[in-house]
Structure 1
Amino acid sequence: MTGWSTADIPPLNGKTAVITGATGGLGYETALALAGAGATVVLTGRNETKGRRALEEIRNKFPGARIAYEDLDLAKLASVADFAARFAATHDSLDLLINNAGVMALPKRQETADGFEMQLGTNYLGHYALTAHLLPLLRRGNQPRVVNLSSLAHRSGTIDFDDLQGAKSYNPFKAYCQSKLAMLMFALELQRRSNAAGWGLLSNAAHPGYALTDLIANGPGSRGLLGRLGKILQPFASQSAAEGALPTLFAATSPQAEPGGYYGPNWFYELKGPPVPAKIMRQARDAAVAARLWDVSAALTGVSFDRVAVAA
């Protein structure tokens, strides 16, 4: 696996991929690489103008790319359901779902359209619902995979069932860490459930290390003393969005990527470098907490994997 790059992506002709948050940053770089390898790629996002621009840029690099853009707002469960319905109306199957979109450490507590804390709702609950809606198509896919984007921040995360939505006490980074821990736990639990129910999925996760994206540039850490320190360290400890997308691409395409695997950069503290197996913290491996989170998520979103699987 040492030195793995986009040159190692196998041919993806005939594969169909959906990527959330694909109009910029990690999602765009992921879409670009998959399109270049021959996959049919559906980029999703909240901004149609940015979506059209992303399509144009990818077509400039790969004129024959099979790509499309669709509106999808993970902070609105109705938007998630609408996208899934539109996709199902035009596609018989789905081979690859990359749950990439996210928001980071919002200074003030905000809520989604459904009343969820914004980071939990966008980063995790929206992806939970999307994956459930798309399960029938994934089950009909060719060696289907689901890749969840987690973060080094999962190491500091806990699932606070007593205040899951941060309504009692909101802390920007605590909420972000919880959402990214939830994404990793979701990936591991999805693999367990797939194994038990025979869904046929390969579910894994990845993180980009310290990748320079708009999430970092526009986040609260970009200001003040922390922001100045970050700019000093960036040349040594960070990598580009294209490099940060490599763990995701490895998880999504490599024959070496394992069910329930987690991948990140190989350098100090997994900050940068080519993809290797990443450290999974003990709390992320807690199957009892993951099962409870799964049930709570089903209740909150009103979407049940079990009902969808039976319907499929």
Structure 2
Amino acid sequence: MARWTTADIPAQDGRTAIVTGANSGLGYRTAEALARAGASVVLACRNAEKGADAVRRLKAAVPDAADRVEVRSLDLADLDSVRAFAAATTGLVDLLVNNAGIMTLPTRRTTAQGFEMQFGTNHLGHFALTGLLLPRLLDRPGSRVVTVSSIMHKRGKASQLDDPQSERAYSPAAAYSFSKLANAWFTLELDRRLRAAGAPTISVGAHPGYTATNLQTTGPQADGVTIVARVMAAATTVLGQSDAMGALPSLRAATDPAVQGGEYYGPSGPGELRGHPVRAKYTATGRDQAAARRLWEESERLTEVTIPLTV
């Protein structure tokens, strides 16, 4: 079986993609590959300075994409920023890649609206963004929403639906794992609702395996450099695959013509830690429809974004 690479990405001319967290790592590599394939790409970034630097790097790497890439401000930890971004989005959208994330903050922190930071950023911010942009996606046949989860979703507990904000007890790894489980539930529930509506848009999941990006160090260092942060940085340097490789599952989910709604892509190697992208499988918990519906309803309540799709 041939290994899927960026050479397999079909021409993306005339298509518009939005990639969250695109200033570095997986997001940047995803944006770069899509631009190289001909897409117009919006790099949705929290840090404007880093976003502008990413655009400069992307234009240098793909000179003929200079007039097809732009950076726009988006802070997924602030629903006011999400609403402003969506309101300012003009034209139709072919591809939304929900890539940005934050991982294992040592102490419990909250978003602008008071949600636990990992759940609020990794899931609620993307839930709201997807809902607000969905009308623009639904008007584009062949459009896709790709939501990036993690192999850590396997450690997520459905019981945390009783305490999604980690108010009773906070564990950095448990909160992160639950947020990634929420990504799985959202991907599949969105797919079910799109199918029921006969929509032209599909929802697909992906995960990067163990990839060397700043995700593994930024969160643990939020309270200062600790032993845990140093261990994470060292392990990532030794064991992590490149960000270009880690971006391949998202790129395949986003562009492979054979991809179907509700599918999930990850690395092919042992433990899904590294390798070229192949079909993967969420855990049984990740495929729990009742839990996914419950999360959906709670997400609409918390974000005050109602997605007009029913099942």
**TM-score, normalisation: structure 1:** 0.93
1:6 — aligned with what?
6
Inter-partner Cα distance in structure 1 for 2:50 and 2:240 = 25
Q: Is 1:31 aligned to residue 31 of structure 2?
A: yes
Q: Is 1:15 aligned to residue 15 of structure 2?
A: yes
2:111 — aligned with what?
112
- Report Cα offsets for 1:17-50 as digits up to 9, x if no partner: 0011001110000000000000000001111111
Query: CA contact under 8 A between 2:216 and 2:236: conserved in structure 1?
Result: no
Alpha-carbon distance change, 126 to 248 in structure 1, aligned in 2, over 3 angstroms: same
Letter in 1 for 2:136: L
Alpha-carbon distance change, 53 to 279 in structure 1, aligned in 2, over 3 angstroms: same
1:157 — aligned with what?
156
Alpha-carbon distance change, 75 to 39 in structure 1, aligned in 2, over 3 angstroms: same
Inter-partner Cα distance in structure 2 for 1:118 and 1:244 = 24
Counterparts of 1:68-79 in structure 2, within 5 Å, are 68-79=70-81
- Report Cα offsets for 1:47-75 as digits up to 9, x if no partner: 11111111111111111211011000001
- In the TM superposition, residue 277 of structure 1 has moved relative to its aligned partner by 1.0
Query: CA contact under 8 A between 2:217 and 2:232: conserved in structure 1?
Result: no
Aligned pairs, number? 304
Inter-partner Cα distance in structure 2 for 1:94 and 1:286 = 29
- In the TM superposition, residue 256 of structure 1 has moved relative to its aligned partner by 2.1
Query: CA contact under 8 A between 1:2 and 1:276: conserved in structure 2?
Result: no
Inter-partner Cα distance in structure 1 for 2:184 and 2:197 = 20
Letter in 2 for 1:128: F
1:253 — aligned with what?
255
Unaligned runs of at least 5 residues, structure 2: none
Inter-partner Cα distance in structure 2 for 1:229 and 1:72 = 27
Unaligned runs of at least 5 residues, structure 1: none
Inter-partner Cα distance in structure 2 for 1:175 and 1:282 = 19
Inter-partner Cα distance in structure 2 for 1:70 and 1:224 = 35
Inter-partner Cα distance in structure 2 for 1:5 and 1:215 = 23
2:299 — aligned with what?
297
Inter-partner Cα distance in structure 1 for 2:213 and 2:229 = 17
Inter-partner Cα distance in structure 2 for 1:70 and 1:233 = 29
Q: Is 1:192 aligned to residue 195 of structure 2?
A: no
Counterparts of 1:7-156 in structure 2, within 5 Å, are 7-65=7-65, 66-87=68-89, 90-91=90-91, 93-156=92-155
Q: Name the % identity.
A: 49
Alpha-carbon distance change, 290 to 48 in structure 1, aligned in 2, over 3 angstroms: same
Query: CA contact under 8 A between 1:154 and 1:180: conserved in structure 2?
Result: yes
